Chains A and B, each alone.
Chain A
Amino acid sequence: MIEAENLTKRYGDKTAVDDLSFTVVPGRVTGFLGPNGAGKSTTMRLLLGLDRPDRGDARIHGRHYRDLNAPLRVVGALLEARAVHTGRSAYNHLLCLAQTQGIGRKRVEEVVELVGLAGAARKRAGGFSLGMGQRLGIAAALLGDPSVLVLDEPVNGLDPEGIVWVRTLMQRLAAEGRTVFVSSHLMNEMAVTAEHLIVIGRGRLIADCSTEEFIERSTEKTVTVRSPDAARLADIVAAEGGKAAPGDDGLLTVTNMEAPRVGELAAAEGIVLHELTPTRGSLETAFMELTRESVEYGAAAGAVPAPGPAPGAVPGIVPSEEGEPR
């Protein structure tokens, strides 16, 4: 169980996390979603006692991280930035962390095996690829068999097989009754991994709900219709209160009306349909809709309002090299 209460953190005159409150409960994967620079990493650092909040409180199992007796046995954390001495081998890195908590060498070997680093454990971590570095970070998180996991962008740099492995691992850990809190800026990844979402933008809470509800609430349902008589069908739909936007090749995109009703109207008028498909926006779309206003480094975030984005341009979510403030 993780509780954040009115968390606020400023760096200079920039507010990275702004009055953020949420609770992460055990037994499910909770996704922590937000565009780059939204304050995800800062929030996680506040949870883990690495940064001190200017206001508010973060507790894990009702305690401040600092006050946990054997923190690695309670919380396993993977930080976004690497936290490994480049000159030390993976095995010795894990060993020195384990020794602070009285965790034995056997467990170190177990986690090395578990994350698939057995062949590279004696090599210096400085030579690791991004993906191997992530695996080592995950091994460190699992070292103390913790009941809470805080993972910042765990699939970063992993190959597709690694991504599936992390996803399965997180779901298994959650199914075992652990609290799994995982951040990502990849919306579609969260859609298949997380059951619950906490979405932030510019350090503020935007949504705290189930993944399903998040998509439901923030995307329009549309019906894709194709008919040789599209123009007539569009008029009929409009007369019944729907909205039909015409496209090429007899395509209509209908909003404000369910698919069965469109079918009934077409049948009543004897209009031939070639396609009738209800579609729902993806999490990606929902996320962009919701965070459009709060994108930190977005293309449209400049001081001078652009005269409208080019058709087809994606507003906002532009991954930035600048990352989050340190």
Chain B
Amino acid sequence: MTTATAKPATGPAGYDRPGFGRVMLAEWTKIRTVRSTLWSLILLIVLDIGFTALFVGLTMAQWDKTDPGDRARIAADPVSFILGSGFFLGQLTICVLGVLVIASEYSTGMIRASLLAVPRRLPMLWAKALVFALVVLVLGVAVSFVSFFVGAAIIGDRMEVSLGDEGVLRAVIGGGLYLAMLGLFALAIGAIVRHTAGGITGVIGFVLVLAPLAALLPGSIGEHVHAYLPSEAGTLIAKAHQGQDDLLTPWQGYGVFALWTFALLALAAFLLNRRDA
């Protein structure tokens, strides 16, 4: 679609086409100048680190009374236990913020101003997705590290957890990677639904409701459906190594999550181009 109009224009229309960097700068301004961003991200930090301390602390306090099976499961991959305790609830803030970033443009009418400025539309969507994913990635990795150190300190000498262990560093960075991809996933759904409440319900349905439901499916079908669900596959990246019951390796799981996300983003882009704003 760019080839036909790529010829430099003359006359009043002869300004240079603003580069993608400009659109990204604008999206950065947009994201940093609304309060919902700040509050969601503060809530992410508080929930993630708070629940890491709470879950890991409670589990350690009960350690001697804990079922040996559970103890073995935690001891097999303590980093996954620590990180999972943190983003179990913390991830919901990213789900909400991802939807808000795009759906609030529709609910307020801002989308019309945005599309008048970037009438080819797709650069706006890509810039928004990229800026948001980068913000979440940076913060997500930082929160992951803090969560890890807090959890490891609480576990203390009960178990050996160190960043130097095989797969641990990747898992901690993976915690940030998971949140960034989850943000894109939510943003894509927000762009498709174009409605804040509907979008948030949709994403949370995917993340929190679908997985337990799929687990109810009988036998190997249930296992496979469950394993390939976006958030289930995605969280594998925050494990130090593939667990006994896992069908996918950490990177395979992340790949499955990425495929879900990119498919939804592609649908969002298709609809953005087609629909009247």
Contacts and interface: CB of A to CB of B under 8 A. Distances in A.
Interface of A: 45, 48-52, 61-63, 65-75, 77, 79, 81-89, 92-93, 95-97, 99-102, 140, 147
A75 B115 CA distance: 13
Given A61-B13, A70-B17, A74-B15, A99 B22 contact: yes
A97 B116 CA distance: 9
Interface string B110-125: 1111011111100000
A25 to B, nearest CB: 14
Given A84-B110, A85-B105, A48 B17 contact: no
Nearest to A89: B33
A49 B119 contact: yes
B9 A100 contact: no
Interface stretch (B23-31, B203-211, B213-221): B23-31
A13 to B, nearest CB: 16
Nearest 5 pairs of A and B residues by beta carbon: A70-B15, A92-B33, A99-B26, A83-B112, A83-B113
Interface in B17-75: 17-18, 22-23, 25-27, 29-30, 33-36
Contacts of B277: 50-51
B104 interface: yes
A100 B109 contact: no
A85 B110 CA distance: 5
Contacts of A75: 116
A178 B98 CA distance: 41
Which interface residue of B11, B16, B18, B277 has the most chain A CB atoms within 10 A? B18
28 contacts: A49-B115, A50-B112, A50-B116, A51-B276, A61-B11, A61-B13, A63-B9, A63-B13, A66-B119, A69-B17, A70-B17, A70-B18, A71-B116, A71-B119, A73-B15, A74-B12, A74-B15, A77-B116, A79-B109, A83-B116, A87-B35, A87-B108, A96-B29, A97-B117, A99-B29, A100-B118, A101-B18, A102-B22
Contact of B26 (A69, A84, A96): A96
A70 B26 contact: no
Given A50-B112, A69-B14, A99-B25, 8 more contacts: A74-B13, A82-B109, A84-B108, A84-B110, A85-B104, A88-B34, A89-B33, A97-B117
Interface in B230-262: none
B3 interface: no
Contacts of A92: 29, 33
Nearest to B15: A70
Interface in B82-102: none
Contact of A69 (B16, B104, B110): B16
B22 A100 contact: yes
Contact of B34 (A71, A83, A85): A85
Contacts of B13: 61-63, 68-69, 74
Given A100-B22, A101-B117, A102-B18, A84 B109 contact: yes
Given A50-B276, A81-B109, A84-B109, A96 B33 contact: yes
Contacts of B22: 99-102
